[in-house]
Amino acid sequence: MVAVIAGVVVGMVWPEFGKDLKPLGEIFVNLIKMMISPVIFCTIVLGIGSVRKAASVGRIGGLALAYFIVMSTFALGIGILVGNLLKPGTGLHVTAGSGAEYAEQAHEGGGTWDFINGIVPDSMLSALTSGSVLQTLFIALLVGFALQAIGGSGEPILRGIGLIQKLVFRVLVMILWIAPVGAFGAIAAVVGSTGFEAVKQLGLLMLGFYVTCFLFVFVVLGVLLRFVAHLSVFKLARYLAREYLLIVATSSSEAALPRLIAKMEHAGVEKSTVGIVVPTGYSFNLDGTAIYLTMASLFVADAMGAPLNYGEQFSLLLFMMIASKGAAGVTGAGLATLAGGLQSHRPDLLDGVGVIVGIDRFMSEARALTNFSGNAIATLVIGTWTKTVDTAKTRRVLDGDDPFDEASMVDDHEPDDAERAPEPMTEKQATEQKAAEQKAVEQKAGAEHASGTERQPAVL
């Protein structure tokens, strides 16, 4: 928080120097992204490999995808509704910048078949180095199911991956120590580039978007969490407060992905559910991005003096349902997706994308926070539906009675002497112990008889 405030001051007082600090934020985000693939791989393999019934994994994955599709569509609809009510771009008559470069970014990934084809990596190992979340997810699923098929002989491999996971989380903890440096550079750069005039000029759009995201998380998703899991969304937000600060600093929900996995496991959700729902949600459950795409589209159309009719809005909604799946957690990806959607429906509005480039960074923070919250709530909801969550432990964690281990981020520990289970006795030791107990009983009975206080035998 101190670093963010300092970054704002530097960006306002020395804007050129603030722009030069942009690499600090980029380096920090790149360090976090460096850890995404190994974290996802280890988590999914351990989660699936430890489940002996493959049908259980398929059931969780199918339910998760159905949930993601419904909630993303609902979020798109809310964005259109609020955009039509507020009409934030009406009367602005702002000179638009060029949006062609963002449209080119959107089309670099190709169409739907190219998107599906891109899920398959060049090799098993390249999935861990390409930086693609979906490729890592695909290979981890294959390895997890292969370990299931191997059976007991795969246990050493699972234990080895478990040790690698501990190592990965330990490296991640070391990286997070420089989070203030990354936050300072990122905030200083964005304030130095845009100043506060752009924020004031487009304040209504930002305010409407922030309020919509807040209501979606704490009212729509909060009611769902209370109704299904009987948990408080406000306690969950408090539990994830550190992750929220990290997302605000980096404008990317991916920066908090490893910590979300660790925290959901600590909160009592089984590894198999966390390993499937969280990584999949980062690609398919982008509620904040969905709200942004529809509201921003309406804003650009109104600002350009060419509003979209309801038919165009509906077709745009259908397009964004698919296009938003490619904007997973990456800073700026939502802007490219927006440009692609406008070009496919109303090419005359493409240049209007330049209107909101200046505040996209601030909008990106709200998108990332909403995406992150939606995935955390989805994990608890789906865990409740599939009975793969320890509700009692979840309540203890959210109440603060079972704090998260920030030092290791791994929810286990070596038992001390008092916690260690007794070693199993050999047959000889058991015989000797039984004889000693019998002798003690006989001696006690003899002492009672000698003292005249022999008791009647107990009735069993």
> For the residues 281-287, what does the mean pLDDT come to?
77
**C-alpha span between 178 and 457 (Å, rounded):** 72
Q: What is the pTM of this model?
A: 0.63
Average pLDDT over residues 71-86: 82
Q: Give residue limits of the domains in the chain.
A: 2-398
Q: What is the mean pLDDT of residues 414-421?
A: 41
Average pLDDT, the chain: 74
pLDDT tens for residues 181-201? 887 887 787 777 766 654 455
- pLDDT band at residue 239 under the 50/70/90 scheme: very high
Max Cα separation, the chain?
A: 110
Residue 382's pLDDT is 92
Structure tokens given for 193: 């580039």
Give CA–CA dist 36/279, Å, rounded: 10
**pLDDT of 373:** 92
| Residue 28 and residue 144 in contact, taking contact as beta carbons nearer than 8 Å | no
| Whether the Cβ atoms of residue 285 and residue 378 lie closer than 8 Å to each other | yes
Structure tokens at 88: 């934030």
The mean pLDDT value for 101-114 works out to 54
Residue 227, pLDDT above cutoff 90: yes
Structure confidence by residue, pLDDT tens digits, 302-330: 777 767 777 777 777 776 665 555 444 44
**pLDDT at position 7:** 82
Residue 223 pLDDT grade (very low, low, confident, very high; cuts 50, 70, 90): very high
pLDDT(5) > 60: yes
SS3 389: strand
Higher pLDDT, 90 or 268: 268
**What are the start-end ranges of the H helices in 98-221?**
100-108, 112-117, 133-150, 155-176, 179-194, 197-201, 203-215
Give CA–CA dist 351/245, Å, rounded. 33
356 has a pLDDT exceeding 80 = no
pLDDT, tens only, 337-350: 676 667 666 766 76
The class level of CATH for 2-398 reads mainly alpha
User: Which residue from 348, 196, 249, 284 is spatially nearest to 2, judged by alpha carbons?
Assistant: 249
User: Residue 371: what are its φ and ψ, rounded to 5°?
Assistant: -60, -45
The residue with greater pLDDT, 69 or 329, is 69
